[in-house]
Structure 1
Amino acid sequence: MRRKFTINSSVPIGQKLQKKWRLLQKLVWVLCLVFGSWLVITTITLVSAYSQPVDAFFVLGGSIRREIYISQIAKQYPQIPILISHGSQDPCIKLIFQRELADLDNVWLEKCANSTFENFYYGVPILKRWRVHKVKLITSPTHLPRAKWMAQILLGAHGIWVDVEVVKEKGVPGNRESVIKTGLDVTRSLFWAGLSQIIQPQCKDVIQLSQVDMSVWQRRGFKCERQGNLGR
């Protein structure tokens, strides 16, 4: 026996479309309200953070000159934590800080990042856990303006004010900036600024500088850049 199917035509199609349109409008208004509230709160947080003292140093890896510089700064501000994102080999950084007689306990090495974007991708969650409100970013002229813009987007999205400290490199820099590279990194930073509000990637390879085992590295062997005159 065949079943008969009937179409309920009691509600006109036009009314159904209007109902869905009103629902969509409400959803858009809610999203706009949420985004607007977040923008206002973030802006207020950034403005208040501007006048506060720096409460973390964030070093982008890629040049031993930046690590030498931050080791000298660490002696002046031993109470401020330092995050070095995929810098030189662990023993090289430790020898730099030991040579400067700088504190090792407040320095952390993040070794997951393999690009400038990933420096922030893994670094921002760490700075947030430290409850940082104002960070000093340590980079070099060969990373500008790309690194500065990325920092302002990705850290600023979490209410963290950024001051940039530029450390000049010696010799031939390994990085070359381009309009395409800058455009791509800034574009994906804008997208990630929103996604990072709900997604917090965690780097599993983070170590305190004081915990770097020099005896293990001595057996393994390592070589530091000549500028540091530290390795073998």
Structure 2
Amino acid sequence: MFTNKAPDDNLGLTMGLRGTLYFNRSRGTVSKPARFKVKSLFWLLLLLPFLWVGYRDVMSYFVQPQAMLVLGGDPERENFAADFARQHPNVPIWVSGVGNPESTKEVFVKAGISPERVYIDQAALDTVTNFTTLVDKLRAKGINSVYLITSDYHMRRARVIGEIVFGSRGIYLRPVSVPSKDPTESFPRALRDGARAILWVTTGHTGASLSRRYESRY
């Protein structure tokens, strides 16, 4: 077969063919475990925010909350928070992302809450920025644990974001859900905003464009 080539060339070609066959056989046996490892790593990264939430959830009950964080956008949340504030008279109230600050203040005043206890922040544009715009303000006041008040259908996504953003500053969350009849938000939405929270912690950017692309697609 190799009579027209020099002995050294024949030997090199033979070794090359053997190496190729060995490589192909090896690739066939290694590929399945390799794919399994990649998939395992992928799912671990996806689930990491939720594992972190579970750990922080346990730890939060060892720290007494020093403030309330109310995620605005729903009058029911504000009414619930006003009632909750009456039961916790020494806890300051932070309301993030409200449409009408005067109306929000009125809700608390009618419930007998002093306006001096209520801090309204309008810098937030969405749930991720509810947390990113306030975390350093709270930390600067020495707050290391807060009651998180939002609707029950919204709580999963809010907690994933909050545990990552607030957790990066050593602030614990104790969730207090506002009852509703709405279905829980989808897992992909929580996953997307968990990724945005990690992006903020690592780069300082909230990934708002990622959110817009997701909303436009779904």
| TM-score, L = length of structure 2 | 0.61
The residue number in structure 2 matching 1:108 is 119
Paired amino acid for 2:138: L
Q: CA deviation at 1:50?
A: 4.3
Structure 1 position 187 matched with structure 2 position 195 = yes
Q: Provide the C-alpha distance between the structure 1 equivalents of 2:81 and 2:155, rounded to a whole number of angstroms.
A: 19
On the 8 A contact 1:135/1:162 being kept in 2, the answer is: yes
1:97-143: CA deviation from partner (whole Å, max 9, x where unpaired): 12111111011000011100110110112211221111110011221
Contact 1:46–1:159 (8 Å) recurs in 2: no
Which residue of the other structure, out of 133, 140, 160, is the alignment partner of 1:149?
Answer: 160
Aligned to 1:134: 145
Aligned partner letter, 1:101: G
* Counterpart for residue 6 of structure 1: none
Point out the structure with max Rg over C-alpha. Answer: 2
Contact 1:72 1:102 survives alignment (8 Å): no
C-alpha separation in 2, matches of 1:180 and 1:47: 24
Task: Tell whether the 8 Å contact from 2:60 to 2:174 is kept in structure 1 after alignment.
Answer: no
- Tell me what 2:169 maps to: 158
CA root-mean-square deviation: 2.6
In the alignment, is the contact (CA less than 8 A) between 1:46 and 1:160 conserved in 2?
A: no
Structure 1 residue aligned with 2:109, among 98, 101, 120? 98
Q: Secondary structure at the match of 2:185?
A: coil
The equivalent residue for 2:4 is none
Higher relative contact order (CA 8 A, sep 6+): 1
In the superposition, relative to structure 1, how do residues 145 and 49 fare at CA in structure 2: closer, same or farther (>3 Å)?
Answer: closer
Bigger share in helix: 2
Matching residue of 1:228: none
Q: Does structure 2 conserve the Cα–Cα contact (< 8 Å) formed by 1:75 and 1:103?
A: no
Tell me the equivalent position of 1:89: 100
Residues in 1 aligned to 2:57 and 2:138: alpha-carbon distance in whole angstroms: 15
Q: What is the rounded CA distance, in whole Å, between the counterparts of 2:84 and 2:191 in structure 1?
A: 32
Q: Deviations over 1:183-224 (max 9, x none)?
A: 22111211222345xx9xxxxxxxxxxxxxxxxxxxxxxxxx
Q: Is the 8 A contact 1:58 1:85 kept in 2?
A: yes
- What amino acid is the match of 1:103? S
Q: Which runs of 5+ in 2 are unaligned?
A: 1-55, 206-218
**Structure 1 residue ranges without an equivalent (≥5):** 1-44, 200-232
- Give the Å deviation of 1:86: 1.2
Tell me the distance in 1 between the aligned counterparts of 2:165 and 2:199: 10
Q: Counterpart amino acid of 2:118?
A: V
Q: 1:163 to 1:46 in 2, by over 3 A?
A: closer
Q: 1:78 to 1:184 in 2, by over 3 A?
A: same
Taking the aligned partners of 2:59 and 2:189, their CA distance within structure 1 comes to 32
- Cα contact 1:58–1:138 (8 A) shared by 2: yes
| Structure 1 segments of 4+ aligned residues over 3 angstroms from their partners | 45-50
Q: Is the CA contact (8 Å cut-off) linking 2:153 and 2:185 kept in structure 1?
A: yes
2:188 equivalent to 1:177? no
Give the structure 2 partner of residue 24 of structure 1: none
Tell me if the contact between 1:74 and 1:103 (Cα under 8 Å) persists in the aligned partners: no
CA positional deviation for 1:49: 6.4
